[in-house]
């Protein structure tokens, strides 16, 4: 005997097995999570570029600090 949840999602692409496991999220939630993941990746890259730029802008100071230690 199948559970109500199993009957609800049987044959649907929203079935947890069809989506790679986990919770059967509505499409809107999945789209929002995908969007947030992209935004997070963009922000991460921006911050890494900013850190690299900052490091390139002050290489002498960093070398001086290392020599003082």
For residue 33, name the pLDDT band (cuts at 50, 70, 90). Answer: very high
Q: What is the pLDDT of residue 16?
A: 54
Q: What is the Cα–Cα distance from 61 to 1, expressed in whole angstroms?
A: 71
Q: Taking Cα atoms as reference points, which of 15, 12, 32, 35 lies closest to residue 24? A: 15
Domain boundaries, the chain: 25-69
Average pLDDT score over the chain? 76
21 three-class SS? coil
Claim: this prediction has a pTM higher than 0.85: no
Q: What is the Cα–Cα distance from 69 to 53, expressed in whole angstroms?
A: 24
Residue 16 contacts residue 22 (beta carbons within 8 Å): yes
pLDDT digits (tens, 9 = 90+) for 2-22: 566 566 656 555 555 555 566
């Amino acid at each position: 005997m199948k559970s109500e949840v199993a009957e609800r999602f049987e044959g649907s692409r929203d079935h947890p097995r069809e989506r790679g496991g986990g919770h059967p999220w509505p499409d809107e939630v999945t789209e929002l999570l995908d969007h947030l993941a992209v935004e997070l990746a963009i922000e991460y890259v921006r911050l890494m570029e900013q850190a690299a730029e900052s490091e390139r802008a002050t290489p002498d100071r960093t070398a001086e600090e290392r020599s003082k230690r």
